Chains A and B, each alone.
Chain A
Amino acid sequence: MSDVATFEKFKACAVEVLQVPEDKVVLEARFGDDLDADSLDLVELVMALEEAFDVTVEESELENIETVGQAYTLISNKL
């Protein structure tokens, strides 16, 4: 899968789970401040991403993940 396609898939998960407009899901966006996501939203997003990309994310890997870009890098490094 190309990087563009991977990010599109990632974005689709975020749009669905966080109920945000597509154009707000950019690499610099902060989950809390920009996407209005709470901790439960993030858990839901991680679960959706795990399912969509067939990867496993450990709790420890989620520390310090604050932006879409950081989360995207975490997932894409597992593919």
Chain B
Amino acid sequence: MAGDKTGGRVVLVTGGSRGIGLACARRFQALGDRVAITYRRAAVPEPAGADPDSPPLVAVSCDVTDPAQVEAAFENVEKTLGPVEVLVANAGITKDMLLLRMKEESWSEVIDTNLTGVYRTVRRALGPMVRAHGGRIVIVSSVVGFLGSPGQVNYGASKAGLVGLARSLAREVGSRGITVNVVAPGMVDTDMIAALGDQRADQLRSMVPLGRAATPDEVAGAVVFLSSDDAAYVTGAVLPVDGGLAMGL
């Protein structure tokens, strides 16, 4: 069983059943880490993309808008794998529409998942990290938090908010050897981009200096770096992985 393995860190990726989250989970697995993911709707499509030699992903159902589910998910992971040493706060949703049409419900739902959901998961993960005098927190934001995007007032606000959260927390827990960093992906080939439609996707692609969308794995590479020993002196940083889309912002 995975918990018997002595090597590797315990990594938890929220929203890890697909897209960027799943790509992160696979990368950590390949490094020999013990990896758990949370999912809300679909569990992991095993064994797609999995190295047959890695231990299975521990998949835990968790809606990050529910504090009780967050608590239960952490208890589950702690029991199965041990205290979380690396947290990737990735779970996020969109509810796009122009502000004039945006009901308070759509605003609240996105903020509650993308911003308050990270508050909940990070807060729960932090106690054991503080006691262990070490840990890595990587928060997945978005280029939209800096560049803006029509129809994404709620999403953009939530993703910009994550930067303030991360930087404040980085100052709180730096003395304990815990780093808190942000990855800001641009256009990434995921279900979230597919939902935008071809026209908007083409328009976005034309704005990217590298002229293409990222693969989820390319974002995962940045997340893994910020979680690594090589990034021990990096905290409060925002690392854009956007093909140059928002450079300078």
- Please give the residue numbers on chain A whose beta carbons come within 8 Å of chain B beta carbons, in ascending order: 38, 40, 44, 47
What CA separation (Å) do A44 and B175 show in the bound complex? 13
Sorting the interface of chain B by its residue count into under 10, 10 to 19, 20 to 34 or 35 or more gives: under 10
Complex: chain B residue closest to A48, CB-CB: B131
A-B pairs with lowest CB-CB distance, top 9? A44-B130, A40-B175, A38-B175, A40-B130, A40-B172, A40-B176, A47-B127, A40-B173, A44-B131
List residues of chain B with CB within 8 A of the CB of A38: 175
List the A side residues contacting B130 at CB < 8 Å.
Answer: 40, 44
In Å, the complex CA distance between A8 and B173 comes to 29
A2 to chain B, nearest CB (A): 29
- B residues 142-186 touching A (CB-CB < 8 Å): 172-173, 175-176
A44 CA to B172 CA, complexed, in Å:
13
- A-B contact sample (7 more), CB < 8 A, given A40-B172, A44-B130: A38-B175, A40-B130, A40-B173, A40-B175, A40-B176, A44-B131, A47-B127
Q: How far is the CA of A38 from the CA of B173 in the complex (A)?
A: 11
9 pairs of residues in contact across A and B, judged by CB atoms under 8 Å: A38-B175, A40-B130, A40-B172, A40-B173, A40-B175, A40-B176, A44-B130, A44-B131, A47-B127
CB neighbours (8 Å) of A44 from chain B are 130-131
C-alpha gap A40/B177 in the complex (Å): 13
Say how far A56's CB is from chain B's closest CB, in angstroms. Answer: 16
